[in-house]
């Protein structure tokens, strides 16, 4: 929706300690940036030819060193600085618009790239903290759109686009907007529109900031993506929405292929059978047990004359499992309670039950 961004807000969820999440988001983004820096301008066949079918698995030499960040991380840090300075100004009673604070921060980044801006705020903006860090004055293939937009006298906005660019130079830098959680979609869009005027260029940034806000508040990633799609679908439009859906589909396929390849050797299971009762115990690594709230350890299910009783053998008694997906219990009941007493038949039913366990671990629902 060109020229209009609704004041959509994400309700802030207070977490006991947000510092690790802030640090993890910024550091994780920097690590990903450094891992991809050496292949940023390569096509897939070239990447695989140099690094193998799996692509980059470690830092590679680029910009004269291993693990070098690019302009993506530089601008992300200046985004964080601008928002922090905005909060600090408000604490002193000075009214400062966050988008104006971000524009000033980006002018400081422009200065580190040895360029000047025609903006009347340029000289006054050169008083930040990061501008004094010599390492951030390195030029790491900065985007032409960001450079050209920031040299102009007027900052771009959603209402008055500065160009028709829908490159990634906006979305790459707006994670801190989501971390602070103040109108993340709106401010994320406006922060991107400073340099990128096409709706796909700034709506993607607003969606990313909203996603970061949800995850920071404790919402699991898949649920956070679903909320962004549901609540912003009409605003995002077909291009951005389709890109989010395609990214999630690729992630699911990648996760399933990796989980299937790794799960079977990691699972151990035992069973004891009698005429009326079967007890099945399956043990798998912590990562296979579904949600983050699930206790770690092995699950034991006893089935006696069609009744089901469940208990967890946990390392953390403070977090007991209170329920289990009913499909698991129903399928196990059908398999186990219809068996006969012959040893061969018991063995057949146990193999079927074990396959249910493996199927659940590989593809949790």
pLDDT digits (tens, 9 = 90+) for 254-302: 777 666 555 444 444 444 444 444 344 444 333 333 333 333 333 333 3
As a whole number of angstroms, the distance between CA 357 and CA 264 comes to 11
Closest CA to 26 of 77, 61, 63: 77
> Domains plus CATH for the chain?
19-257 (1.10.4080.10), 267-360 (no CATH)
- Model pLDDT, residue 275: 43
pLDDT digits (tens, 9 = 90+) for 117-162: 999 999 999 998 999 999 999 999 999 999 999 999 999 999 999 9
3-state secondary structure 280-292: EEEECCHHHCCCC
As a whole number of angstroms, the distance between CA 201 and CA 203 comes to 6
Record the pTM.
0.69
Q: Name the percent of the chain in helix, strand, coil, to the closest 5.
A: 55, 10, 35
As a whole number of angstroms, the distance between CA 312 and CA 329 comes to 14
DSSP strands (E only) in 140-253: none
pLDDT digits (tens, 9 = 90+) for 205-261: 999 999 999 999 889 988 999 999 989 988 988 889 899 989 888 888 877 766 655
Which residue(s) pair with 299 in the sheet? 282, 312
């Amino acid at each position: 929706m060109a020229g209009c961004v609704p004041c959509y807000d994400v309700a802030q969820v207070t977490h006991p300690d947000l510092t690790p999440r802030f640090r993890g988001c910024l550091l994780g983004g920097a690590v990903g940036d450094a891992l991809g820096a050496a292949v940023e301008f390569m096509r897939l066949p070239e990447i695989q030819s140099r690094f193998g079918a799996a692509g980059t698995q470690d830092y590679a030499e680029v910009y004269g060193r291993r693990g070098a960040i690019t302009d993506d991380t530089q601008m992300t840090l200046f985004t964080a600085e601008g928002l922090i300075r905005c909060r600090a100004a408000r604490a002193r009673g000075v009214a400062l618009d966050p988008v104006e604070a971000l524009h000033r921060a980006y002018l400081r980044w422009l200065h580190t790239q040895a360029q000047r801006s025609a903006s009347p705020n340029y000289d006054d903006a050169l008083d930040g903290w990061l501008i004094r860090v010599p390492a951030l004055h390195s030029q790491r293939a900065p985007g032409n759109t960001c450079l050209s937009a920031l040299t102009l006298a007027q900052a771009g906005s959603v209402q008055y686009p500065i160009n028709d660019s829908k490159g990634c130079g906006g979305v790459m830098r707006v994670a801190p907007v989501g971390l602070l959680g103040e109108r993340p979609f709106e401010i994320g869009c406006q922060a991107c529109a400073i340099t990128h005027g096409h709706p796909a260029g700034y709506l993607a940034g607003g969606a990313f900031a909203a996603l970061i806000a949800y995850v920071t508040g404790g919402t699991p990633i898949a649920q956070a993506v679903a909320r962004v799609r549901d609540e912003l679908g009409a605003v995002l439009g077909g291009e951005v929405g389709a890109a989010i859906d395609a990214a999630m589909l690729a992630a699911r396929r990648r996760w399933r292929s990796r989980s299937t390849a790794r799960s079977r050797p990691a699972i151990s299971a035992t069973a004891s059978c009698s005429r009326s009762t079967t007890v099945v115990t399956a043990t798998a690594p912590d990562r296979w047990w579904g949600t983050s709230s699930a206790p770690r350890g092995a699950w034991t299910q006893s089935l006696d004359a069609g009744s089901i009783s469940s208990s967890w053998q946990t390392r953390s008694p403070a977090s007991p499992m209170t329920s289990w997906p009913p499909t698991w219990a129903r399928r196990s009941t059908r398999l186990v309670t219809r068996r006969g007493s012959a040893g061969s038949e018991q063995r057949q039913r146990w193999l079927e039950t074990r396959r249910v366990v493996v199927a659940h671990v590989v593809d949790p629902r």
